[in-house]
Amino acid sequence: MMQKEIRTDLAAAGIRQFLEALGLDLKAQGMEETPERVAAAFGSFFAGLRKDGVAVLGEPIHTQSSGLIAVRRLPFYSICEHHLLPFFGTVSIVYLPCDGKIAGFGHFAEAVRVFAQRPQLQERLTGQICAAVAESLTPAGVLVLVKARHLCLAMCSEKTGLADIVTVSACGALKEGETLYESALRLLEEE
Task: Please tell me the predicted confidence (pLDDT) of residue 18.
Answer: 96
Across 55-182, the runs of DSSP E, i.e. the strands, are 61-62, 69-80, 86-96, 101-102, 119-120, 141-150, 165-172
pTM over 0.95: no
pLDDT at 157: 73
Q: How many CB atoms lie within 10 A of CB 15?
A: 19
**Residue 137 contacts residue 54 (beta carbons within 8 Å):** no
State pLDDT tens for residues 93-133: 999 999 999 999 999 999 999 999 999 999 999 999 999 99
Q: How far is CA 141 from the centre of its chain?
A: 20
Beta bridge partners of 94: 70, 143
Percentage of the chain lying above the pLDDT 70 cut = 95
For the chain, domain boundaries = 8-45, 60-189
pLDDT of residue 29: 72
Whether residue 158 is predicted with pLDDT greater than 90 in this model: the reply is: no
Model pLDDT, residue 156: 78
Statement: 60-189 belongs to CATH 3.40.640.10: no
Q: Write the pLDDT tens digit of every residue in 38-61.
A: 999 999 999 999 999 999 999 999
pLDDT of residue 189: 81
R_g over Cα of the chain: 19
Is the pLDDT confidence value at 86 over 70? yes
pLDDT the model gives residue 191: 57
